[in-house]
Structure formats: C-alpha cells, structure tokens
Structure 1
Amino acid sequence: MAFEPFLQLLRGIQGKRTHNGLGGIQNSQQIAYLRHLQKEINQEELNVALQNLHVVVFDIETTGFFPEKGDSILSIGATKMRGSEMIEGETFYSLVQYGEVIPDEIQQLTGITNEQVKDAPPLAEVMIKFFQYAKDHTFVAHHASHEKSFLQYVSSKQFRTPFKHRIVDTSFLYKIVEPNLNLISLESLCQHNGIPIENRHHALGDAMMTAKLWSIYVEKVQQIGCETLNDVYNRFARL
C-alpha cells in the first residue's frame, strides 16, 4: 500500500490541533488522507486462506453505547495477527481526548480518569494513526456491532467518508464450531477456553484476550472445513 507519500502530510496534520467538532481536527487534508487509506483497503479478503489472513483485533472503551447521542471513544487498543498467530510487538494503544466529565460508572469500569484524557490526543489524530497502523487488514472484534457503530459514526462525522473496513465478529467463528454454546461475554468465553482474564475493560487488554479467542477458533473452523472467511460466512448463514 502506498502510505509513504502521506507520512509528511500526516506529520503536518498532527501539528495542527484544534478543539472543535467530534474529536478535534477538521480539515481537508485529514479528510483526503483518510479517504486515501479507505481506497487502498483490500476487497479480496473473503477468499484469502484463513491461515494467511492478516487481521487487526481491536477493542474500544467508550462513555456509553450510542455515538449518535453523544457518547465518545475514550481509548483504542489493538494487536495484529496472521492466521492464528499474533505478531509480536505489533500492538496499538491510545487514550482519546475528552473534554467533558466521564461518568463515574465508566471511570470505575475502565479505570480511565478525566485527568488521563484531558491532554490525550484528539480523536481525529488517534483515528488517523489507528487506520495507518491497520492499513488494509481485516478488523476483528468481540461483539463487533459496538465497535462498528462508533467507527462508522466517526468516519462519517469526523472525516465525511464511509467506513469501509470489514469487521468480523468473533461469534461468526465460535457459533459455527460450538453452536450449542450459550456463552456470550468475553470473560465467559475466555474461561471456557482456558484464557486468563487480564486487564479486563482496558482496550488493549480486551483486544489481547479477543486475539487469543480468535486464534483458538480460527484453528477450529479450519478443522471443520472452513478455509476462508467466505466459508465461515456461508456456514454461519446456515445455522
């Protein structure tokens, strides 16, 4: 992917912080940059062998569940994988600037305080860094509808461009492997698979646990004959 010509532009963008709009910076250079990233997204990942599929497993912590009602992203954490293998050293984490008071229950749940996010990078800057990190990789998340709704909203409102990355929900895998399994939460699925519960409700901690789940179930779906995401979707549709 042709990211290098945009690195100098990105540095210039990062030096022009303002504090209006959804998360900070709003200018034509940012919008053009993100649109370029979106255009470069690989559209052939459905037919890539799962053992070779490059994914970014990620998680976000937010002030609530409804971005259209004013809830905001407080942090993003992610790790990269190829097939069932995590790529060592390829993680991403950032807090996000938030100019209002974080609800007490969210502070208690996530451990993120008002002081921590006061001087954190603005949302637009964090999102550009995150998309640059992710490149054209397929996204993976646990209960992905939450992550998808926020990223779609941010892409539309912050950058005026549609969100084009594919997000694969972990449930697509574990439900076809264990269709009678009634576990839903990240904790319960990790316990079921012998994965230690560490740094829960921390974006990077949750992303790492989700990555371990993905690793286990990628190997299991291959054992039942699913070689690609297309196979996974077809099998899931028949449940």
Structure 2
Amino acid sequence: MLMNQMIQFIKQLSDKVTSSMYTSIQDPSNPHHISLLRQLQKEIKVKNPLDLPLKDLKVVVFDLETTGFYPQKGDTILSIGAVKVTGEKIEDDTFYSLVQSNAVLSPNIASLTGIKEEELRTAPPFSKVLTNFYQFIKEHTLVAHHAKHEQAFMQHAAWRLMRTNFDHRIIDTSFLMRVVDPDLKTFQLEDCCTKCGIEVKDRHHALGDAKMTAELWCYYVKEIQTLGFTNLREVYERVAQM
C-alpha cells in the first residue's frame, strides 16, 4: 500500500512539472525560425534615430497582451499587435497575431483580453510570430506605451529563443508626454486617450491598444514640435533635466 501511494505521488508530481514546463515554453523553437530571427535581428539594428526629424521619423507602435507582468516567473506573450507611423501619420500597415500556448488563462486575463484558450492552442508558434514581427518592423524604431513591459518581454523572448539580447530601441510615449504635459497625473492608456480626444476602442486587444497608442504618439509628436523640438535627442535632453 505504501509503495502504491509513493508511486502515485511521484506520478502526480511528474504531471505537475510537465504541465508547468508546457505552460512556460510557448513553442519548440523551430531551428529555421531561430536562424532567420538571428539574421533579422542583425538587420533591424537601425541607425540612431535620435537625430532624425520627428516629421520624418518612421516607427512601429506595438503592444503585447500577456498572462502577467513577469516573464522571468513564467508569464508569457499571448498576442502582438502593431501599426506603422511616419511622423504624424498612421499608415494602413498593421500586424496582429496570437501566440501558441498551452497556458491556462486566469479568469481575469481571459475576461480582460477576450482571448480564448482554444485560440491559443491553434495559433502560430512563438518563433514564427516573432519572425513575422521582425519582418514587419524592418528598419523602423519601436514605440510602446509603458515600454518597460514590452521591453522586458521582448528581452526575455530574444534570450530564450536566440540567447542574444534584444537590442532594438523602444521609445516610451511618456517621454513626449512628460515634456508636453509635465503636470500629467496619470499615464493609463485610456485616461491619456480620453484627455487627448482619442476614442477608447478595443481596449486590451493588442492591435486595438497599438492603434490607440499610435494616435497618442501622433498627437504628442505634433504637440512637441509646436514647442520647438525637432528630434528625439532634444526630447531626451529635456527629460534628463526634469
């Protein structure tokens, strides 16, 4: 009886470990995708965008939906949404993909994002999604709202898949906002959009949030130029003085 109980305990423990592994590992890292990712990462290391005129700056505004806030603790990317912007103009060029995962979504995340677990089971593997995203980025600079979140997950993804750092610059929209609106009390996306007269639509959908962030970026690119700033270097220098 004791031996049977011990065997059952080991089996249950093994099942839990296996389940945990499948939850944290989003795909088996297709060798072809990894090779292509390494090449693409080299190619998208663009020239320093800090001195480019803001009116000509090409960016990809993107957003991630994730299972949580801590990739080092097993939280994973559920979807990526992005839109291209040139200066103050939003282009008709977007990117969106769910990411394959066996993760069990918490009720809060499922309700917040509207993503269903069955959709994740049949989505493209993460190495494929990231390859496609890199191909979409090309030479553009990245922009995100609350960029530390995106930076942490992209850095973790690059290291896990390729054992390399994610060196692509991600500009936080708050850099412009802090200069234009130094007394701004909240940086929640929906609050910022409401303040700027931007419709809050498809919140917590990666592409929906990316589109709202793109509108927010364009709004502040226009505003900051009226203050006499012509490039990002001047913006960074002002932020450093604040």
TM over 0.5: yes
How many angstroms apart in 1 are the aligned matches of 2:103 and 2:76? 10
The answer to whether residue 230 in structure 2 is matched with residue 227 in structure 1 is yes
Q: Would the aligned equivalents of 1:30 and 1:159 in 2 still touch at CA under 8 Å? A: no
The answer to whether residue 56 in structure 2 is matched with residue 59 in structure 1 is no
Q: Which 4+ residue blocks in structure 1 deviate beyond 6 angstroms?
A: none
Q: Which runs of 5+ in 1 are unaligned?
A: 1-18
The more displaced of 28-37 and 199-208 is 28-37
How many angstroms apart in 1 are the aligned matches of 2:99 and 2:42? 25
- 1:175 CA displacement: 0.6
The answer to whether residue 134 in structure 2 is matched with residue 115 in structure 1 is no
Instruction: Give identity over the alignment, percent.
Output: 48
Which of 55, 65, 72 does residue 68 from structure 1 map onto? 72
Q: Deviations over 1:167-219 (max 9, x none)?
A: 00000001100101112100100000010110000000000000000000001
Which of 65, 72, 85 does residue 89 from structure 2 map onto? 85
The more displaced of 218-227 and 149-158 is 218-227
- CA RMSD after TM alignment: 1.5
Equivalent residue number for residue 132 of structure 2: 129
Equivalent residue number for residue 14 of structure 1: none
- 1:43 CA displacement: 2.5
Residues 77-226 of structure 1: pairs in structure 2 closer than 5 A: 77-88=81-92, 90-226=93-229
Q: Would the aligned equivalents of 2:27 and 2:101 in 1 still touch at CA under 8 Å? A: no
Q: Which runs of 5+ in 2 are unaligned?
A: 1-21
SS in 1 for 2:82: strand
Q: Deviations over 1:19-77 (max 9, x none)?
A: 89832142544333222222222132111111111100000000000001000000000
User: Which structure dedicates a bigger proportion of its chain to helix?
Assistant: 2
TM-score with structure 1 setting the length: 0.88
TM-score with structure 2 setting the length: 0.87
Q: Would the aligned equivalents of 2:34 and 2:127 in 1 still touch at CA under 8 Å? A: no
SS in 2 for 1:51: coil
The more displaced of 74-83 and 216-225 is 216-225
Q: Would the aligned equivalents of 1:93 and 1:204 in 2 still touch at CA under 8 Å? A: yes
Equivalent residue number for residue 13 of structure 1: none
**How has the CA–CA distance of structure 1 residues 20 and 59 changed in structure 2, closer, same or farther, with 3 Å as cutoff?**
closer
Q: Would the aligned equivalents of 1:31 and 1:161 in 2 still touch at CA under 8 Å? A: no
SS in 2 for 1:140: strand
